[in-house]
Chain A
Amino acid sequence: MARHLINAMVNGDRVEFVCGTGQTLLDVLRGELHLTGTKNGCGTGDCGACTVVLNGRPINACLVLGAEVDGSEIETIEGMAQGGELHPLQQKFLDHAALQCGICTPGILKMAQAYLETNPDPTETEVRFALAGNLCRCTGYDKIVRAVLDAAAEMRASET
């Protein structure tokens, strides 16, 4: 059986795991590293629930092989709150009631975080297109978009 020994940085921690060729990064994060905050909604890159940041880019963990990530840096939802403080996006999602069931929330937060790094002052339309790869079936997106815009404003204010 083909097995691969992989070293990677996950949320700043050096981790080592063994995976089969068929195991995706999502399988590895959830099944091997027990980081179950990254969710599995479809396994085909269509829902965004498994969004993590791989070497600086948001990607669907279900569309990456575990075997590929040797030497990579990965950031997941578990690393988003730092030092006991929620990230502004996390706080704004709570303030705006931008989640109902919450299953899409970790993926949307990671996507929004990565997006705001490239575009700190987006329009509503830009936020909607940036989040088009993250399905939410509960909220109708309204409060999510508001939360992201509000978080962006707060993050800009704290930069200056």
Chain B
Amino acid sequence: MTDRHAGSGLESRGTKTLQDMNYEAPTSVEAAVAALAAADDEAHIFAGGTDLLVQLREEMIRPSLFVDIKRIIETRTITVDDTHVRIGAAVTGAELSEHDAAKALLPGVVEAVELIGSAQVQGRATVGGNLCNASPAADSVPALIAAGAFAQIAGPNGLRVVAVEDLLAGPSRTNLSGNEFVVSLDIPKPTTRSADAYLRFIPRTEMDIAVVGAGAAVTLDADGTCTAARLALGAVAPTARLVPAAATAMIGKKIDDTVLASVAAAARDACNPIDDKRGTVAFRIHVAGVLAIRAVKIAIERAEAK
């Protein structure tokens, strides 16, 4: 279930033959970093494989090596402490969906991950994979950005931490170096009267890539005034993006229809989409505003219910 940009599968980026390709499954972060360091630049981190194996099949990549990170405990664990929810990069959609605490704290993030592919894909697709595949339309990414997630990145010099919105460089490109990989995602634990939501538009009811995605997180004070907000959009620009103007429109106000109209306008202003097989520029811009309003409303309802 990958976002295939080269539909005809004409240009294979790799030069390796299928027969040369290798596979390793290290059991520690250090061993994975070492495996990447020892390999050439056509090695790929392999988590759920739901994008990579499609790209391999469609002749879009010819890796020299797959480094499977699913046997590393840090990538496979979900932990909740006083300040953060930490989701291992190789946690699957199905596993996250079954984690009651994560689902209660971050319904938007969990729903976004649950939208990736079918039930079968959910059994394999991972949070880290969805992020690092760097599709502009990846469902989990706007939700992670809205929720203020940071990526814990392992590399030859140890760990570093990067905000999710700063990790993405363009379609299919991240700011990771060749020897780095994402170990886990840290999401600040929402405070009281704080909640998130994610919605996407697809032409069918399932099995599609987002034509537009919108993630929202809001915090309300006791009388319903918005004290913090984040809105992020997917599939409307080369990368998922945070829309600060939408937050500005909400913070300090009670969110009524006028504020929501400003949120929609800010969302539409932030769009820089393309016409492609999934939608038109005009459609994406309009629907970005529609989904921004709908996602914010759901986040508010959830925050108020807390």
Q: Chain B residues near A46 (CB, 8 Å)?
A: 1, 207
On whether the beta carbons of B23 and A64 are closer than 8 Å, the reply is no
Among A1, A45, A46, find the residue whose CB has the most chain B CB atoms closer than 10 A: A45
**A21, B57: Cβ atoms closer than 8 Å:** no
Interface residues on B, range: 20 to 34
Helix, strand, loop or mixed for chain A's interface? mixed
Contact assessment for A44 and B57 in the assembled complex, using a CB-CB cutoff below 8 Å: yes
In the complex the two chains form, is B124's CB within 8 Å of A133's CB? no
B121 near A57 (CB under 8 angstroms)?
Answer: no
Within 8 A of A (CB), among B19-75: 19-23, 25, 46, 48-50, 53-54, 56-58, 66, 68, 70
B161 within 8 A of partner (CB): no
> Smallest CB-CB separation from A62: which chain B residue?
B53
A115 within 8 A of B: yes
Closest A residue to B54 using CB positions: A44
Q: Is there a chain A Cβ closer than 8 Å to B123's Cβ? A: yes
Q: Which of A123-158 contact B (CB under 8 A)?
A: 129-130, 132-134
**A20 to chain B: which residues have CB within 8 Å?**
18-19, 21
**Are A43 and B57 in contact, with the CB atoms below 8 A?**
yes
How many whole Å from A22's CB to the nearest CB in chain B?
Answer: 4
Q: A33 interface residue, CB < 8 Å from B?
A: no
Interface assignment of A116: CB less than 8 Å from any CB of chain B: no
Chain B residues lying within 8 Å of A64, measured Cβ to Cβ, are 49, 53, 124
**Given the complex of chains A and B, what is the CA–CA distance between A134 and B53 in angstroms?**
19
B residues near A57, Cβ cutoff 8 Å: 94, 123
Q: Is B282 part of the binding interface, using a Cβ–Cβ cutoff of 8 Å? A: no
- Cβ of B119 < 8 Å from any Cβ of A? yes
A133/B117 in contact, CB under 8 A: yes
Among the listed A21, A130, A134, which residue makes an inter-chain contact with B23, where contact means beta carbons less than 8 Å apart?
Answer: A21
Kindly state whether residue B272 has any CB partner on chain A within 8 Å: no
**Which of A2, A4, A63, A133 meets B119, CB within 8 Å?**
A133
User: CA A129 – CA B114 in complex, angstroms?
Assistant: 12
| Chain A residue contacts of B25, Cβ below 8 A | 68
Contact A63 B23 (CB under 8 A): no
Name the interface residues of A83-129: CB closer than 8 Å to any CB of B.
111, 114-115, 129
B46, B58, B119, B123: the one within 8 Å of A44 (CB): B58
Q: Does A54 contact B (CB under 8 A)?
A: yes
A77 within 8 A of B: no
Whether A48 contacts B120 by the Cβ 8 Å rule is yes
The minimal Cβ–Cβ distance linking A145 to chain B, given in whole angstroms, is 14
Question: Are A21 and B66 interface neighbours, CB within 8 A?
Answer: yes
